[in-house]
Amino acid sequence: MKTATEDSLSESAPTVVAPRAGASGPLSAGLGGARLAAKGLRLKTQYFLSAALLVVVTLGLAVAIATWRANQIAEESIRTALRKIPGDVAFYRTGLESQLKATLRSVAEEPGIKAIFDSPVGTVWDTAKDKAQILNARTFFFFDRGGVLVARSDRTPVEEERRSFREVAWVAEPLDSWTESAATIREGKTLAIVAAAPVVAGDPQKGEARLVGVVAASIPLDEARARELRDLTGGQVAFVADTAKKGAPPQLEIGAATDDFGGDMLVPALKGDPSVLAKLFREGAEVGPLDLVVSGERRVVKAIPVLSASGEALGAVVVSRSREEETAAFRKIRETLLLVGLGVLVVSIPVSFLLGGRIARPLQQLAAGAIAVRDGNLDVKLPSGGSGEVGLLARAFEALVGELREKRQLEELLAEMRRRPADATRGVAPTSVTSAATVSPGGARAAASGPRLGTTFAGRYDVLSVLGRGGMGAVYQVLDRELDEEVALKVLTPEAFAEGTQAVQTLKQEIRLARKITHPNVVRTHDLGEADGLRFLTMEYVPGTTLRELLDRRGAVALAPGLQIAKQLCRGLTAIHEAGIIHRDIKPQNIMVLPNGVVKVMDFGIARTADGSDHASLDGLTVGTPHYMSPEQALGRDLDARSDLYTIGVVLFELFTGQRPFLGKEAAEVMHKHVSAEPPRPGSLRPDLPDYLERLILACLAKRPDRRPASAADLYAALTRIVA
């Protein structure tokens, strides 16, 4: 069997490729694993007996399922709500802080407050008590401009020593930046939000502003705040303070809780797991959801650490939800479902008997068809299946069998070719364009200077045979010593990479993209290298038949194998286009048909001239494949994927009619026809060709790219609608 042939207008010899092990395509596995029991109950009877069994077990099963589902939904509801808790708590705390900072900003701007710092300590303390009462604050503070505590509302001047708070973050911020600050503090066993604002005297616009001190106030996280947070989160809330000294084990006390929380039992429940306390109070991380028993009730708990301005864990906000309360509504639903279920079961047996027969019938027919296909009968009649999933399955199975039929006929065609010697009288007669388009002087020099048979090239590749030569270089069958497998090695002409061109970088970019393509209908590209002054490309190697050889020996291909070739070609080209590559040289020489019916596209991304254009003049010769050029390629315009769709149209025209749409004695004449002449109707050359296929081919051959199919994937989808 041939591994490479030259078309009368080919630009380079095709790369010969090798199949991967088992690469017989997605359809080759068939349905060999299908089994249909020769004995046993029919599917219709099984439906009936299943319904009878349901009568016995459904009641208990319904209770179990309803209970499980209710618990599952309740659990998800609880956990979904608890996952929102940290955000709700942060939102609530931010709101308190903003409100308190705004209030203190107003207090700091009062003239009386600006003057109070020059008053006796007793007067300052009285003012602090008044402000605490007015603001409904737990504590009101006065600090001088050095950060020393002047007075606080909850302690007399005698009880409170004058000490510096200069290093406390929420006091230092207004002292340093003259802006408000907020933080969380612990006052005894009570957690509180504290805010501070600078007191500035003088006129800032005149540059006379001066800091005279800082005022601050704390709002306790008490029962009222717990109820507000409960309304926001939908769960019971407790504020827990860690009253232990620094470095000591956590000592938890409930500062405030909602009425139904059961706070007395919360602390023992939390202490039951030391890892929870360590994560919450030592690491300052959220804990939960946790399953705890609080006051004899099963609850799901989420705990959020409350951190000071310095990051120290002062306590936690604990939110819990009762499982019993969450599942109450679901229990009622479960009871209703049970009553409805009993009624449904009364009529389920006769209905199941009728439906079982209706559903089982097409499935039984499909199963019988699968066995027939497994045994090699691809002409078995399959049921339509009607609508719905069974119909979808039937149509998918029918399409699969259709693909297998086409592939079988393609394999038979290839087997017949192997049995018969080549017919020397068949094929496309050479024209005057042949020598110009096929072998350039550069290609001849590349062949002469390439690796020799029996030698080792690049210290890695043992040269076994020459597979073909063309304008871009020569192709060899080599053994890759490192991979211990045979690959195809294409040595490129030195003239194709003249100094000063962008071809080397362009080709490297093409190879980087091509190496990403792993598709059964695309030849795998391995690497691009250089040795002995020659640049070379390695690809997978598979002995096979080019579509050119098939057409030369057989002429027009029958509809079924032709469709199989066309669809595989489209699948391969789709993978190439999705990798960002335009093939630029789709032609029968670059399409391999393996003995197992797999079609592979090769030489993508490299069939181009040295300067990266799609056709040019080289030493007075036309480079390219004129019979397979798109109009825009013949005119030297920019190309996109739709150019490849045009050349697919040319290939399909030749595949189904046995001749190309445009013929001529000179390359220029053929290229001119691609640009301006209308192709003949394929049906005029082959009357039995389906009209829809003819329209597809002519759509691909549209002169304007925007009138062709949008992509190879769209063309493939259209081809699948044709039944051979």
The residues annotated as belonging to the active site are 585
Provide the edge-to-edge strand list for the sheet that holds 599-601.
545-546, 591-593, 599-601
Measuring CA to CA, which residue among 235, 254, 390 is closest to residue 325?
Answer: 235
Cα-flanking dihedrals φ and ψ of residue 545, to 5°? -115, 130
Do 402 and 560 touch, CB atoms closer than 8 A? no
Per the rule left: phi > 0, alpha: psi between -120 and 50, beta: everything else, 565 is alpha
Helix (H) or strand (E) holding 291: strand 287-294
Cα separation of the two ends of the chain: 28
Do 456 and 465 touch, CB atoms closer than 8 A? no
Q: How far apart are CA 605 and CA 522, in angstroms?
A: 12
As a whole number of Å, the CA-based R_g of the chain is 42
Q: And the tokens for 722?
A: 């044709």
Do 173 and 196 touch, CB atoms closer than 8 A? yes
Going by their DSSP bridges, the two strands 313-322 and 456-457 should be labelled as: unpaired
In 10 A of CB 459, how many CB atoms?
A: 9
Do 564 and 597 touch, CB atoms closer than 8 A? yes
Contacts of 59 (CB under 8 A, 6+ apart): 338, 341, 342, 345
Going by their DSSP bridges, the two strands 287-294 and 461-470 should be labelled as: unpaired
The amino acid that residue 542 corresponds to is V
Q: How far apart are CA 486 and CA 468, in angstroms?
A: 16
Exposure string over 644-655, b if 16+ CB within 10 A, otherwise e: bbbbbbbbbbbb
Helix (H) or strand (E) holding 12: none
Q: How far apart are CA 427 and CA 274, in angstroms?
A: 86
Do 494 and 446 touch, CB atoms closer than 8 A? yes
Q: How far apart are CA 325 and CA 234, in angstroms?
A: 12
Question: DSSP H helical segments within 259-387, as ranges?
Answer: 263-271, 274-277, 323-374
Contacts of 543 (CB under 8 A, 6+ apart): 1, 3, 16, 18
Q: How far apart are CA 170 and CA 156, in angstroms?
A: 23
Please identify which residue in the block is written with the tokens 């026809």. Answer: 673
